[in-house]
Amino acid sequence: MIPSQSVKPNQSPLSRAAAAMTCGWSDDPSGRRLIRKLLSRSVRFAITARSRPLSTKGMNAVLAIAPHPDDEALGCGGTLAILKRENRAVHIGFVTDGAASHPAHPIHRPEAIAAIRRREALAAAHLLGIAPSELHFLNAPDGSLQRLPLAAREDLIARISALLTLIKPDAVLLPSRNDGSSEHNAAFILVDQAIKKTALTCRVLEYPVWAWRNPLLLAGNSTGYRNVWKLDLGDLRFIKAAAIDAYASQTRPIPPDLDAVLPEDFTSEFKLPDELIFER
């Protein structure tokens, strides 16, 4: 059956144009998902065309920053696995506790969700070859990074600074500065301020997460970077996929919920044979 082509009165001009171009197919949720996936793949192809292989030379100590437990596996899990295979020192700093991923869940309270996600972070890191001693949980409240009170904000910046001072990383990996998530954007700003506070000289490598769901945002962002780096993951592609799946609370429904927080059509974008990293 061909989806209805009728124009809904509350549709935006962009939505009406999309409906017209796709014979109404974009009004269907599955149609919207597939259109977005096709657009994302097209943008990824264009970005990859200008990418160059990332050399890990000189990256002897690396700190990956994850606003929530799972961002590191999604955005740069392959890079971290490659670095561990090369016997580099790899640390992960989890900024928030991830407690807000299932608001108002009828069984699991936020503190229980936080505990689940911490266990999943340990399991995912183990798959990537990263030891528990190399994981650092800052436990900032999930869902409020962009509106922290001044005192809490300064305290978090100080703790990130202390982590940087401890590790002295040659490179910091963190979500791209305009990632389509207020918390990811806030995490970038917090880490950027912590780097400046410590006067640390290091490479800042940015990985997109939620930007992959917004092809226009991703395309616009990529033009602002001097370098787009590509890492061919080889067999580590499957290790990264397993690390993503270790976050079962995010990739599968927690009953009685019927839907996963991260649908398969989203996580599949992070299980491809290569990984892209941006650098200004």
What average pLDDT is seen over the chain?
90
The pLDDT confidence band at residue 9, using thresholds 50, 70 and 90, is very low
Q: Report helix, strand or coil for 219.
A: helix
The burial of 28, by beta-carbon neighbours within 10 Å (0-12 exposed, 13-18 middle, 19 or more buried), is given as middle
Distance CA 85, CA 101 (A): 32
For residue 189, the model assigns a pLDDT of 97
For 70, half-sphere exposure in the C-beta direction (CA atoms, 13 angstrom radius) is 22
Cα 200 to Cα 24, 50, 56, 187, distances in angstroms: 53, 29, 19, 17
User: With 60 as the cut, is the pLDDT of residue 78 above it?
Assistant: yes
Q: What pLDDT score does 31 carry?
A: 75
- pLDDT score for 8: 47
According to DSSP, residue 25 is labeled G
pLDDT at 12: 56
CA-nearest of 114, 181, 180 to 142 is: 114
CATH number of 48-279: 3.40.50.10320
Helix %, strand %, coil % of the chain (to 5): 50, 15, 35
Q: Give me 133's structure tokens.
A: 């001693």
Enter the pTM of the model: 0.88
DSSP 143-202: T-GGG--HHHHHHHHHHHHHHHHHH--SEEEEE-TT-S-HHHHHHHHHHHHHHHHHT---
Confidence of residue 16 (pLDDT cuts 50, 70, 90): low
- Average pLDDT of the residues in 24-45: 75
Decide if 208 contacts 175 (C-beta within 8 A).
Answer: yes
Please report, rounded to a whole number, the percentage of residues in the chain having pLDDT higher than 70.
Answer: 90
Half-sphere exposure of 116 (CA within 13 A, CB side): 18
Tokens of residue 266, six digits: 């989203």
Per-residue pLDDT at 81 exceeds 60 = yes
Q: What is the pLDDT of residue 37?
A: 80
pLDDT at 18: 47
221 CB contacts (<8 Å, ≥6 apart)? Answer: 176, 177, 178, 208, 211, 278
Taking residues 220-242, report their average pLDDT: 94
Type of residue numbered 173: L
- Across 49-74, average pLDDT: 97
Q: Is the model's pLDDT at 2 over the cut of 70? A: no
Report pLDDT digits (tens) over 123-132: 999 999 999 9
Contact (Cβ atoms closer than 8 angstroms) between residue 227 and residue 276:
no
pLDDT for the residue numbered 33: 76
> How many CB atoms are located within 10 Å of the residue 280 CB?
11
Per-residue pLDDT averaged across 14-32, rounded? 55
Total count of residues recorded for the chain: 280
* DSSP designation for 66: E
Residue 1 pLDDT > 60: no
Question: Taking residues 99-105, what's their average pLDDT?
Answer: 94
pLDDT for the residue 262? 96
Distance separating alpha carbons of residues 64 and 129, to the nearest angstrom: 14
Residue 32 pLDDT greater than 80, yes or no: no
The confidence band for 15, taking pLDDT boundaries of 50, 70 and 90, is low
Quick one: pLDDT band at residue 222, thresholds 50, 70, 90?
confident
pLDDT for position 6: 38
CA atoms within 13 A on the CB side of 46: 13
Query: Helix 215-222 vs helix 29-49: angle between axes, to the nearest 10 degrees?
Result: 10
Per-residue pLDDT of 166-212, as tens digits, reads 999 999 999 999 999 999 999 999 999 999 999 999 999 999 999 98
Q: Which two tokens stand for residue 26?
A: 């974009």
pLDDT over 90 for what percent of the chain? 79
